[in-house]
Amino acid sequence: MKLAIFISGRGSNMEAIASAVEHGVLRGIATIELVLSNNPEAKGLEVARSMNIPTAVVVSKGKKRQEFDREVMALLADKEIDYIVLAGFMRRLTAEFTGRYAGKIINIHPADTRQHRGLHAYEWAWENRLDMTMITIHYVNEKIDDGQIIAQAPVDLRGAKSLEEVEKRGLAVEHVFYAQTLAKLFSGKLK
Ligand code: GRF
């Protein structure tokens, strides 16, 4: 499968997926055609460049959603992209965009999307002193963290002493689970 990965910041999930493509569960299953960021300052862009992955920036600041999405669609038009993988991409996409790539856009959200949507999901788990949170991988529609759930993985938060620890435990699960789930999906083992 040919992937475009969309990021806005740190890019640690993108890096984990790229490593899995190089020498892990996605090897021989997927290639990364492009890492795209809406934020020119995204740290993940440097990470992608250092891994020799093509990068692109489409600046979103000051643009209407439709204008930004059309620019991205124009950029992707001549590439054969099978799936768009969102990894810390902080923009809601228009129905025009999600319709164009229906069933082909995937996101990872660090909570159960039936319980908490939007930003600050680890803060939410920490502030509510949850014993467990659920990483959710789901299809993307025009609403925030709303699309059909593909797979979920629990994160054990028992005994966590700080928000940093909650995030650290969660990200460790995210990094393994995203690549694993994509590998299963692309091999027809998931719907
Ligand atoms: C992750 O927690 C992801 O689940 C959420 O945003 C964060 C992105 O981190 N959607 P990174 O940019 O992949 O390091």
Over residues 115-151, the pLDDT tens digits come to 999 999 999 999 999 999 999 999 999 999 999 999 9
Res 191: pLDDT: 72
Token pair for residue 123? 């803060």
- Name beta bridge partners: 84: 4, 105
- Please indicate whether residue 109 is annotated as part of the active site: yes
Expressed in angstroms and rounded, the spacing between residue 171 Cα and the centre of ligand 1 is 8
Expressed in angstroms and rounded, the spacing between residue 73 Cα and the centre of ligand 1 is 23
CB contact set of 20 (below 8 Å; sequence gap of 6+): 26, 27, 179, 182, 183
CB contact set of 125 (below 8 Å; sequence gap of 6+): 111, 116, 133, 157, 166, 170
pLDDT category at 16 given cuts 50, 70, 90 is: very high
CB contact set of 122 (below 8 Å; sequence gap of 6+): 110, 111, 133, 163, 166, 167, 170
Expressed in angstroms and rounded, the spacing between residue 122 Cα and the centre of ligand 1 is 11
Q: Which residues line ligand 1 (CB under 6 A)?
A: 7, 9-13, 44, 87-88, 108-110, 174
CA distance 75 to 54: 13
Probe residue for ligand 1, chosen from 7, 8, 12 as the CB with the greatest number of ligand atoms within 8 Å: 12
- Answer whether 0.85 is exceeded by the pTM: yes
